[in-house]
Amino acid sequence: MNLRFFERIRDAFRREPVLHPVDHQLARRWIKQRLIAVFPHLRNNPRELERAYRNLGMEAQPGWEEGDADTVFVLSAPEQV
């Protein structure tokens, strides 16, 4: 019991695992496909598509719900000025 307690503390202070490049590329591709589906005018404009992608705040986090993947990407919309 005591050993498990220290393992939980150790795990809490560990850094997040490094995201595998393939996972990052798949997420990037999926997000860009969704941007094109929502904003059709980006389909033939790769420069604007890249700008829209970069304006999204994409943050990798570990999955926390049952059935989630190990890594979940959380998107935040850019702030309006």
Residue 11 lies in a domain: no
* Closest of 48, 40, 49, 52 to residue 77, by C-alpha: 52
Q: Is 59's pLDDT higher than 60?
A: yes
Domain assignment present for 49: yes
Q: What is the pTM of this model?
A: 0.54
- Pick from 81, 80, 72: which is nearest to 16 by CA? 72
pLDDT averaged over the chain?
77
Q: Residue 17: inside a domain, yes or no?
A: no
Mean pLDDT of the region 22-49 = 88
Query: Is 45 a domain residue?
Result: yes
| Domain span at 33 | 23-81
Question: What's residue 81's pLDDT?
Answer: 39
Say if 2 falls within a structural domain.
Answer: no
Higher pLDDT, residue 56 or 36: 36
Number of domains observed in the structure of the chain: 1
Q: Rounded CA gap, 52 and 44, in Å?
A: 13
Better pLDDT: 74 or 28? 28
Q: pLDDT tens-digit profile of 17-28?
A: 666 778 778 888
